[in-house]
């Protein structure tokens, strides 16, 4: 499945993360979670509500600190780095379309902001250097018509338009890992499909190593080359492209004897 001597793009080593430790509300969200992502992997992550999927992504991004365990990009241990210092490695899109873009900034300003992810910010005009044209060219292939409205505030865009913008922002300055947390869940089915198409396109064209959480079983089956299932803070199932190719929704449901949300109770 993976070449033995190549370093994985991402390694999660025995991650443990507890909310409200030592109180009656104590909740172990990650329970010694291990994961290796190889360069170019596009892994879809499924699991019931509360399985620890979002917490895993938050531990990777640095938004949450694990109690123990390590997060490595290649050979570099980033476990103790704050969010802004590992931002150069990571692009991220959230479920809430409000979170992935800055509503009070224009489309082109959002892209300019993202273009410096992980880089020093100096006193050069953010929209100089032919950036305007470059950004418009970046948006044009998605057929949203945004390339002619680059000065419009991101806050004025529809949810789907914002998610595509957020995807582009996350993919700029090629991150070593793209994190997608149910980024189509807040959209109507048609728009979700459009955003999924944009996702596949961006991941393919950039050759991005990607972790995508979804509750949509169809998307889980026909996207990516790897399927991960989480339960109770651990990876319980890890299927490669071949094993995944043979799966049907019926088989998934049958195998785990559950509807979407109950998927991994078996």
Partner 1 sequence: MDILHLFWNLVPVTLVQGLTYALIALAIMIPFRILSVPDLSSEGVFPLGAAVAAALLSAGAHPLIATACAVAAGFLAGATTAMIHLKFKVHSLLAGILTVTMLWSINLRILGRPNAPIFGIETLYDWISPEILRSLPLQITVAATLAVALVLALWWVLQTDMGLGLRGIGANPQLAPALGVNLVLYTAGGLGLASGISALAGALMAQSQGYADVGMGVGMLVNGLASVIIGEAITGRRTLLRQIAAPVVGAVVYYQLASLALALGLNPSDLKLVTGLFVLLTIGWPVLIGRKVSGAGL
For binding to partner 1 (CB under 8 A), which residues are involved?
61, 82-85, 87-88, 90, 92, 99-105, 109, 112-114, 116-119, 121-127, 169
Of the pair 134, 265, the CB lying nearest partner 1 is at: 134
Q: Which does 239 bind (CB under 5 to 8 A by kind): ligand ADP, partner 1, Mg ion, none?
A: none
List 12, 33, 54, 263, residue binding ligand ADP (CB under 6 A): 54
Stretch in the footprint of ligand ADP (CB under 6 A) among 43-51, 107-115, 116-124, 242-250: 43-51
CA atoms within 13 A on the CB side of 97: 20
Q: Which does 186 bind (CB under 5 to 8 A by kind): Mg ion, ligand ADP, partner 1, none?
A: none
CB burial of 57-93 (b: ≥16 within 10 Å; e: otherwise) equals bbbbbbebebeebebbbeeeebbeeeeeebbbbbbbb
- The residues in 55-114 that bind ligand ADP, with binding defined as CB under 6 A, are 55
Say how many Å lie between the first and final Cα of the chain, rounded. 26
In degrees and rounded to multiples of 5, residue 46 shows phi and psi of -120, 170
Of the pair 58, 110, the CB lying nearest ligand ADP is at: 58
List 11, 13, 16, 27, residue binding ligand ADP (CB under 6 A): 27
Reference 94, options 29, 194, 170; nearest CA is 170
CB of 82 to partner 1, least distance (A): 7
Query: Could you say whether residue 54 binds Mg ion (CB under 5 A)?
Result: yes
The DSSP code for 106 is B
Contact 66, 16 (CB under 8 A): yes
């Amino acid at each position: 499945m993976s070449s033995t001597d190549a370093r994985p793009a991402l390694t999660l080593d025995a991650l443990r993360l507890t909310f409200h430790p030592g109180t009656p509300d104590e909740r172990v969200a990650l329970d010694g979670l291990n994961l290796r992502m190889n360069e170019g992997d596009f892994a879809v992550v499924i699991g019931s509500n509360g399985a620890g999927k979002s917490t895993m992504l938050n531990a990777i991004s640095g938004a949450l600190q694990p109690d123990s365990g390590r997060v490595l990009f290649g050979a570099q241990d980033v476990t103790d780095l704050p969010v802004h210092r590992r931002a150069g490695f990571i692009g991220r899109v959230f479920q809430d379309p409000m979170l992935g873009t800055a509503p009070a900034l224009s489309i082109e300003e959002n892209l300019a902001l993202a273009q410096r992810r992980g880089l020093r910010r100096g006193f050069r005009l953010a929209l100089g250097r032919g950036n305007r044209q470059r950004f418009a060219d970046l948006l044009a292939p998605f057929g949203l018509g945004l390339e002619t409205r680059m000065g419009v505030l991101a806050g004025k865009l529809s949810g789907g338009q914002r998610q595509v913008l957020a995807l582009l922002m996350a993919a700029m300055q090629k991150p070593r890992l793209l994190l997608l947390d149910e980024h189509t869940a807040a959209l109507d089915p048609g728009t979700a499909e459009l955003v999924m198409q944009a996702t596949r396109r961006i991941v393919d064209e950039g050759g991005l190593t990607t972790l995508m959480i979804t509750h949509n079983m169809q998307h889980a089956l026909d996207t990516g080359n790897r399927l991960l299932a989480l339960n109770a803070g651990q990876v319980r199932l890890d299927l490669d492209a071949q094993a995944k190719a043979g799966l049907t929704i019926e088989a998934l449901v049958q195998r785990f004897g559950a509807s979407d949300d109950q998927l991994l109770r078996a």
